[in-house]
Every structure is written in structure tokens, then in C-alpha cells.
Amino acid sequence: MYKVSATSAIRRFSTNSRVLVNYGFVGLGQMGQHMARHIYNQLEVDDKLYVYDTVPTAVDQFVSNVTQQNATNKEKLVTLPDLKSFVTGVDGQLDFIVTMVPEGKHVKGVVEDIVTSFEQNGYSPDYNTTIIDSSTIDIPTSRQVHKYVKETLPQFDFIDAPVSGGVAGARKGTLSFMLSRETHQDVSPALTTLLNKMGKNIFPCGATHGTGLAAKLSNNYLLAVTNIAVADSFQLAKAFGLNLQNYAKLVAVSTGKSWASVDNCPIPGVYPENNLPADVGYQGGFITKLTRKDVVLATDCAKDQGRFLFLGDAGRYWYDKACEREDIANRDLAVLYEWLGDLKQEADGTVVDTKVSK
């Protein structure tokens, strides 16, 4: 028998018969803060957005930024003190809760806390809460969480919907979402509306839960190894004495073109109009240690599928080495260009980092 929460409000309708929506967002980091900002900016008259992050200063900074930029929706934004408040501290059961957190263990913890709160405090059978996980995590954990949600609250849903586009895409609202849905018709209109607030592309990747993550990991594996090749190529061009700004422009219209060589070009000053990480000391962007995480996830999940990745171990090795230096690990992945310039191969074939060996 269903219990109806005292906070569950009857859905009201505006004059154009649009159903009002309550959104929740967990995780206001480099990506999440921009994704949540786009939702905030596009809230309808009586919609609400509830946000939470484990770091209070991240919440404070988010609220300050978005309300200064757009005070119109200030009253529609509510900060929550903890995860259980997504059930007990809201004005009406939430339609969607988006999670954007670092690892699988965090996704599992967030979902378990929220689901437990629903169990303890009640929920309305009239509205189905859908949790949209845009984190990049391992497929087995995501499937475990999906199973847990469906077995505990069968009318609720948990969908893997990782993104591509990086911090720049999150900032501009041009992200691509990869969903475990077979066709576009299998993505509900309400979910489509939500995703279109934050991005430009929705890619159904398959009916089985985890296919969105499978597409994400395959894509990010490609990005990771391409990024190493791009860094190596520009170091080669430097060794040849080429003008790197000119070389970058050449690559942009040649067969070596890639996202890592153009959209995230590692050479400062080539595209100043795009505010790339390379122009600010490789700060911001998609940091190297997160790229390493994706390589590890891709290679591990490939092994689960009995697939050997021919560049997997090599890519994993070099990202492991790069992340031994904090100044490389915590800057945008384009910094591998700078890092490879610090490496030297000895006569015996040993590669040493000249900055570390000093």
C-alpha cells in the first residue's frame, strides 16, 4: 500500500495546460554547476529547482552566480541541507533528480539515501520520480543501482545518461546525452524537455540499462588515446622547429584533425576567442585525472565483455604516469602536451620526467 507524503502537492496547471515540474540536482562541480544553471535559467513560472552538493561552498557559489546573472528565477531555487531532503524538504514530489558526481560509489550512496527517504517518508503513486545519472561510472555499478531502484520502488526509474562535450559544452549548454533507450520515441517528452535545457543532442544507445555508459566509455577511450597522440604530434612539430600556431591551424583542416587538436587545442594563442584551457595555464576543463578514470573504466569494462583494447594498457600506463604529478593530474587533459615536453628518453630506453628527477 502506498503512503502519500505530506509534502506531495497536487500538480497544478498553468493556463496553457502545461504540467508543472519539480527538478532536483545533486553535484555542483565543474560540469554540474553549468548543467544546473541552464535548468535554473529555463524554469517555467511555477517550476522549482532543488540543489545539493556535499561541499557547502559549491552550493553558495552556485546560488550567488545564477541569481546575480538572472534574478528572475531566484524564488524558484531552493538549496537542500542533505539528500533525504529531496523527499522531506520539497514542495511536491520531484519529477526528476539529476546526479553528476565523481564515481560509482557516490552514485550508489546518493540513490540509496534518496530511495530510503522515500521509503521512510512516503510518496505519491500518482507521480513517478526519475533519477537521471549523468556521471561517468562503471557499467556494473550503474546496473546494480538500476536494479535496486526498480526492486525497491518499481514505479520509479533510474536512467544512465552520461554526457559528452566537456566543461565547455556544459557551460554553453551544448552537451550530448547518451541514454539507455532504444529509440527517441522511448524518451519521454518530459525527459526530452529536461535534457534539451542542458544540451543539444540526445542519443538513444540501446534498450538495456548501461548502454548509455557503454557509448560514453567507448567515446572517452577514443578521446583519451587521441589526446596522447595529439600531444605527441605537437611535441614532434616543436622538435622539428615548426611554428606551432601555424601547425595547429594546418591540423585543423587536415587528416589529423580531432576534438583534442582543435576544440581543445593544447597550444596557447591559437583560438583566443574560444577561451580554451591552454590559454589559461590549462586550468579548468576536463582534468587529466578524470580522463585517467575513464581510461581505467573503459579497459576494465572491456575485460568484462571479453574485449582486449589494443591501446588500452598503453593509454592507461601513460595516464597513470602523468597523474603521479599533481600539477598535471589536476589540470585540463591538454596539459599532456606540456608534460610530454618534460619527458626524456635515456640511452637505455628508460623514460624519465626531468622535472621530477631534478
Cell for 71?
534574478
Q: Phi-psi region for residue 209, left (φ > 0), alpha (ψ -120 to 50) or beta?
A: beta
**Exposure of 220 in the CB half-sphere (CA atoms within 13 A):** 35
Residue 24 DSSP class: E
Same domain, 195 and 309: no
In a domain, 255, yes or no: yes
Does the residue 102 lie in any domain? Answer: yes
139-152 vs 288-304: helix axis angle to the nearest 10?
Answer: 80
Regarding whether 178 and 325 lie in a shared domain, the answer is no
Of 163, 181, 207, the position where a domain reaches its end is: 207
Residues 304-348 pLDDT 10s: 899 999 999 999 999 999 999 999 999 999 999 999 999 999 999
Confidence of residue 124 (pLDDT cuts 50, 70, 90): confident
For residues 59 and 122, the model is more confident at: 59
Are residue 154 and residue 263 in the same domain, yes or no? no
Which of the listed residues 207, 228, 246 is the one where a domain comes to its end? 207
DSSP 25-52: EE--STTHHHHHHHHHHT--TT-EEEEE
Q: Are residues 28 and 154 in the same domain?
A: yes
DSSP 280: G
CATH number at residue 265: 1.10.1040.10
- Looking at the fold, whether 61 and 183 belong to one and the same domain comes out as yes
Is residue 112 within 8 Å of residue 152, measured between CB atoms? no
Q: How do strand 163-164 and strand 175-179 relate by DSSP bridges?
A: antiparallel
Banded model confidence at residue 358, pLDDT cuts 50, 70, 90:
low
- Residue 76 appears among annotated catalytic residues: no
313 part of a folded domain? yes
Same domain for 92 and 150: yes
Asked if residue 44 belongs to a domain, the reply is: yes
The range of the structural domain enclosing residue 56 comes to 22-207
Q: Which helix (H) or strand (E) holds 99?
A: strand 96-99
Position 68 in a domain: yes
Quick: pLDDT tens for 3-21: 444 444 444 433 344 568 9
End residue of a domain, out of 207, 242, 272: 207
Within this chain, do residues 231 and 181 fall inside the same structural domain, yes or no? no
Nearest CA among 101, 165, 93 for reference residue 125 = 93
CA dihedral sign, ordered 185, 188, 190, 192 = negative
Encode pLDDT of 225-249 as tens digits. 999 999 999 999 999 999 999 999 9
- Whether residues 185 and 112 share a domain: the answer is yes
Q: How far is CA 67 from CA 42, 61, 70, 94, 96, in A?
A: 13, 10, 5, 22, 22
β-bridge pairing 175-179 and 199-204: parallel
In a shared domain, residues 111 and 237: no
The pTM is what?
0.88
| Same domain (yes/no): 192, 312 | no
Same-domain status, 154 and 279:
no
> What does pLDDT average to over the chain?
93
- Judge whether 191 lies within some domain: yes
CA distances from 311 to 104, 259, 289 (A): 24, 18, 18
Q: How far apart (Å, rounded) are the C-alpha atoms in residues 236 and 242?
A: 9
Verify that 178 and 225 share a domain, yes or no.
Answer: no
Q: Residue 150 maps to which CATH number?
A: 3.40.50.720
Number of structural domains found in the chain: 2
Q: To which residue does cell 532536483 refer? A: 24
Domain presence at residue 17 = no
The yes-or-no verdict on residue 27 having pLDDT over 60 is yes
Which amino acid is present at 106? H
Distances (CA, A) of 73 to 35, 36, 40: 16, 13, 7
6 part of a folded domain: no
User: Which residue is catalytic, options 48, 197, 216, 293?
Assistant: 216
Amino acid at 349: G
